[in-house]
Amino acid sequence: MAFKLNYSFEGNIKSRPEQNLAGASKKLTRDLLLQKTQEERRKRQEQRVKLQSAELLQSHIRSYLVRKAVKEIQRQEYVSNESGLGAMDKLKKLLFFYDHQTDFPKLLKLSNELLLHVSEVIQRINIDTQFSWMMKRLLVICIKHISIHDDTATLICMIATFSDNPNTLFYLIRKGYFSYLRTLLDSSSPDSLPQVMLLIQRPFKFLNNFGPSQDMVLAEFCNTFLKPTLTYNLKYYLIPFMKQTQDTTYYDKLIRYLNGVHYLVESNSLFYCMLALEPADYEPNLDSVQVLSMLSKEIHTLKPSLDLTEDSDCEDGEDVEVSAGEVLLSDYLNILNSSNKVRKWMHFLESNSDDALTAFVNLAQNLLLVYRESIRKYLLLYKLGLNSTFLKKLWFAISKKSADLQINGTSLVSWKGCHTQLSVFCDMFTFYTETLTDKENSDTSETFTSSDLHTMSNLLKRIAVELIEIAFPMCRASSVFATPEISHLYQSCINCVKMLYTLDMRKQFCPPGFWTARKIHVSQDLTKKNYLSQVFSPFGGVIKNVHADDEHLPPLSTIEQRSLAILQELPFLVPFNTRVHLLRDLCRFSLGENEYQRMHHDLLHDNTVVIRRNYLYEDSFEKISTKSESDLKHRVRIQFINNIGLEEAGIDGGGIFKEFINEVLKTAFDPNRGFFLMTADNTLYPNPNVHLIVENFEEHFTFIGRLVGKAIFENILVDLPLAEFFLAKLLVDRASACYLKSLDPVLYRNLLYLRDYAGDVSDLGLDFTTVNNDLGETRIMELKANGRNIPLTNENRLEYIQRLADLKLNTQLKKQCAAFREGLNSVVPLLWLKLFNHKELQVIIGGDTHEIDLDDLRAHTTYSGDFTDEHPTMLLFWRILHGFTDIQKRQLLKFVTSCSRPPLLGFKELNPPFCIQSSGVENRMPTASTCLNLLKIPIIKEERDLQSKLLSAIEQQAGFELS
């Protein structure tokens, strides 16, 4: 097929060269000429510079050679005519030709001559300006040599003798006086240190004579001795020497200088030195507190592993290398915990302005960043945390600023004016509330009113939620760098809100629905994918997967991260029923995402346990303790062996296991067995002396914890009234002193009396010991090292109260609670249970404490045999129940279900459902099968007869064996 070409080619094929008949370009020639001229000019300039440099170099060389020759001539004349020269001539010549490598002996000889005529030399210094100038230069040479040569005694004597005037001393300081003395100090032996320390101290004698230059002197001293890393001689010799020999004037001048420095570089060494140099009779002022607050900003950077007072994570036997002069956290503790120093600080705080409050808040913030429990480490923080006046002032300042700030929606930058105050207040108020502070049953009423607490809760709750939103920003590019201060504010604010919620449960200063007013959306994916088992870091997203199987989980959206953070940090902002549903979903989905997976596992694994009724606990401990976590989470079937050794009839479809878990836990928690004891209000807690009864008690507590976890996992309610402090210790490692009331009300009241005792506590004759009764054997325990020799005083009584409460609540129960939590966590992770507080956990374990809703029970009751809801006997039954007291209703519920409390979310949760079955003629008694939640009632036509038989049955709690 032919194609028509539409292209046209015009013009010549070959291009011809362009011809220019104008001749050579004049412009091109001119440019080349200018370029050539510039190049020649540059070369001539380079030649002139080289020539000048050569002449200058030759001049310097000739000058050096001439000076060297002249110096040598002067040196020879000095040596040959030394005996005939006067002191002035010797000094003049030596200063002219002195070389430190060859003329040091001449320096020593001249120095000795001058020291033989001290009075004449000093007199001439005062009247002869030229001689005075030459002596200054000679002293500079001397001070340079003291860090080079070993033979320094004469030179030190020279400096000590002829520098005792402000003019000479100031000249030496400008020439490096402090630097050379620092080198000498670090290398000196203890015998020679006194002379060196006197020289270092000398400038402070003339501070007033230096006039405007005294700041320069103080700056040189700080930069040379106080800011750099401390050495052994400086830390253990110079600082104690200066503290003992100087009055408060020099320290006050040092404080005022540091407070006036606009760009003060924080240094832990400088902070330590200023603390250690403070004279014993020094009274704190605004400048001193402000300086210490500024200098303490970097103290949190010290490694805790170097601190011998802090629990270290290092393995036993691991050596930690520490420099001899290095400042440890324990050094700061020893100084800051001086009772005299803290007493002066507190007195100054109570009698001063808002500036003092700000300075103390900044100092407290810096100290709070050091330890996890800094308040219990630092006496100053401890006193501030228990000082209601300080807390009131601080809260007033925060309230005043919060009125000017629109907290909701503002950026973190705009909080700079108050986030330090917020952080300190949250820590201090949390500690204050958790300590025995106010009158019994009125923890904070003397400090803050109910209205104050409500306002506080409202503000801090809002800030806490805002912090979570800032920690997990919508835009990744706007992520906030997690400085130690911001991270601490985040955790402090959240802990304070938790404490306020716990306090509100007791005092009810917030209206109903206050904590759950803000709707928090919780995605079901959080439970299906087990995200709640992950550890989240604010400002950093997911940092750790607890389970290796979770590494494939997809990342969460920002909204989901925030919801998860609220669930982990502030779960009470989500309604209780919602959290219960979450727990149920977590338990269900942990076995597989669908029912088929769970059924498949149950079919493939025979998880049957044979238990003899006569040895219920022993068989359970032997056979269930060895089961894996996975087996225990899945269905466990129980085969009972009766008292005569025969298998009991029936197949465990869930009811028999329910009966088993109730009976074995009742046996395990029986105080007669020895693992648990009863408090005064009939609640259960671990026996602190169980180690005297059972050798391997930790294995038993782990087993009991697994059983309780299994009951929670299977949504089986067990009638276990656990002590409040024990429930709290299941969720947190340490219970605070405020829980002591639930353990020992008498001891709690005695400690309150001791705290409020108006007289001299030492008159009571107490010390830091307590008496324990170990199964009838009396034993004295020390609350701290050498406690029997430490008398109780007004100053240390709060420490005594804290230590005694900690011993009773934590130390004596540490192993028992740790083992119980380990077993509980193996079935139901503690991260799931931390969705609830200790009171809600009791509801999770034992059911709701509210009055039984009979209408709800009737709506979810099934009938069998001849009974229906409209049967005459059933109509009588429900009429009788409405006339029962609350105790009788609970007795009936326990008679049928083995638990006196209704299910958490109503009777629709009861599994199997509550069922009533006819049991024949009316001469029979009502009976029950608790494993099936089955109540058997004879057909009775008279209301009085039915009521009488029901009451007889439920009061005797004898049901199954009568069936």
pLDDT in tens, 96-149: 888 888 888 888 988 998 999 899 999 998 898 999 999 999 999 999 988 777
DSSP state of 674: S
Question: Residue 487: which H helix or E strand, with range?
Answer: helix 484-507
**Band of the pLDDT at 678, cuts 50, 70, 90?**
very high
Q: Look at residue 262 and tell me if it is in a domain.
A: no
Q: Look at residue 400 and tell me if it is in a domain.
A: yes
500 shares a domain with 422 = yes
Asked which of 481, 507, 533 is the last residue of a domain, the reply is: 507
DSSP state of 392: H
Supply the pLDDT for residue 26: 54
Supply the pLDDT for residue 819: 94
Assign 3-class secondary structure to 777-837. EEEEEECCCCHHHCECCCCCHHHHHHHHHHHHHHHCCHHHHHHHHHHHHHHCCHHHHCCCC
Distance CA 684, CA 721 (A): 6
Q: Look at residue 943 and tell me if it is in a domain.
A: yes
559 shares a domain with 493 = no
How many domains is the chain partitioned into structurally? 4
Q: Do 426 and 466 contact (CB within 8 A), yes or no?
A: no
pLDDT tens track for 483-541: 888 889 999 999 999 999 988 888 889 999 899 888 887 777 777 667 777 767 777 65
Give yes or no for residue 399 having a pLDDT over 70. Answer: yes
Query: Which has the higher per-residue pLDDT, 877 or 83?
Result: 877
Supply the pLDDT for residue 755: 84
Query: Which has the higher per-residue pLDDT, 792 or 592?
Result: 792
Q: Look at residue 764 and tell me if it is in a domain.
A: no
Taking residues 319-327, report their average pLDDT. 50
Taking residues 685-691, report their average pLDDT. 92
Query: Which has the higher per-residue pLDDT, 320 or 397?
Result: 397
pLDDT tens track for 27-37: 557 778 888 88
pLDDT tens track for 148-207: 777 788 899 999 999 989 999 999 999 999 999 999 999 888 888 999 999 999 999 888
944 shares a domain with 884 = yes
Give yes or no for residue 812 having a pLDDT over 50. Answer: yes
Question: 10 Å Cβ neighbour count for 348?
Answer: 18
Query: Which has the higher per-residue pLDDT, 588 or 220?
Result: 220
Q: Look at residue 453 and tell me if it is in a domain.
A: yes
DSSP H helices in 306-418: 329-336, 339-350, 354-368, 374-377, 379-385, 388-404
Q: Do 465 and 498 contact (CB within 8 A), yes or no?
A: no
Q: Look at residue 207 and tell me if it is in a domain.
A: no
| DSSP string covering 515-532 | TT-S-----THHHHTTGG
pLDDT tens track for 411-465: 555 566 688 899 999 999 998 887 765 454 444 556 788 899 999 999 999 889 9
Active-site positions read 931
Q: Look at residue 369 and tell me if it is in a domain.
A: no
Question: Residue 840: which H helix or E strand, with range?
Answer: helix 838-846
Q: Look at residue 27 and tell me if it is in a domain.
A: no
* Half-sphere exposure (Cβ direction) of 842: Cα atoms closer than 13 Å: 16
In whole angstroms, how far apart are CA 237 and each of 242, 330, 338, 488?
Answer: 9, 18, 20, 37
Domain CATH for 875 = 3.30.2410.10
Question: Residue 684: which H helix or E strand, with range?
Answer: strand 684-686
410 shares a domain with 486 = yes
534 shares a domain with 503 = no
Write down the mean pLDDT value for the chain.
83
Taking residues 875-891, report their average pLDDT. 91
Give yes or no for residue 383 having a pLDDT over 90. Answer: no
**Band of the pLDDT at 293, cuts 50, 70, 90?**
very high
Asked which of 162, 191, 214 is the last residue of a domain, the reply is: 162
Q: Do 173 and 200 contact (CB within 8 A), yes or no?
A: no
Within 8 A by CB and 6+ apart from 464, the residues are 493, 494, 497, 569, 570
494 shares a domain with 557 = no
543 shares a domain with 495 = no
560 shares a domain with 463 = no
Residue 135 lies in domain = 58-162
Among the listed residues 460, 388, 465, 373, the one whose alpha carbon sits nearest the alpha carbon of residue 418:
460
543 shares a domain with 478 = no
Supply the pLDDT for residue 442: 45
Residues making up the chain, counted from first to last: 963
Distance CA 582, CA 530 (A): 11
953 shares a domain with 863 = yes
617's tokens? 């606990």
Supply the pLDDT for residue 480: 58
158 shares a domain with 115 = yes
**Band of the pLDDT at 600, cuts 50, 70, 90?**
low
Question: Residue 657: which H helix or E strand, with range?
Answer: helix 655-668
Angle between helices 388-404 and 419-434 (to 10 degrees): 140
Distance CA 292, CA 360 (A): 9
Distance CA 638, CA 941 (A): 39
Supply the pLDDT for residue 180: 93
Q: Do 385 and 432 contact (CB within 8 A), yes or no?
A: yes
**Band of the pLDDT at 544, cuts 50, 70, 90?**
very low
pLDDT tens track for 324-382: 556 677 888 888 888 889 989 999 988 777 888 999 999 999 999 988 788 888 889 98
Asked which of 507, 542, 566 is the last residue of a domain, the reply is: 507
Among the listed residues 636, 693, 686, the one whose alpha carbon sits nearest the alpha carbon of residue 820:
686
Distance CA 762, CA 758 (A): 12
Sign of CA dihedral 544, 547, 549, 550: negative
Range from 419-428, 442-451, 622-631, 757-766 carrying the lowest mean pLDDT: 442-451
451 shares a domain with 393 = yes
Supply the pLDDT for residue 373: 82
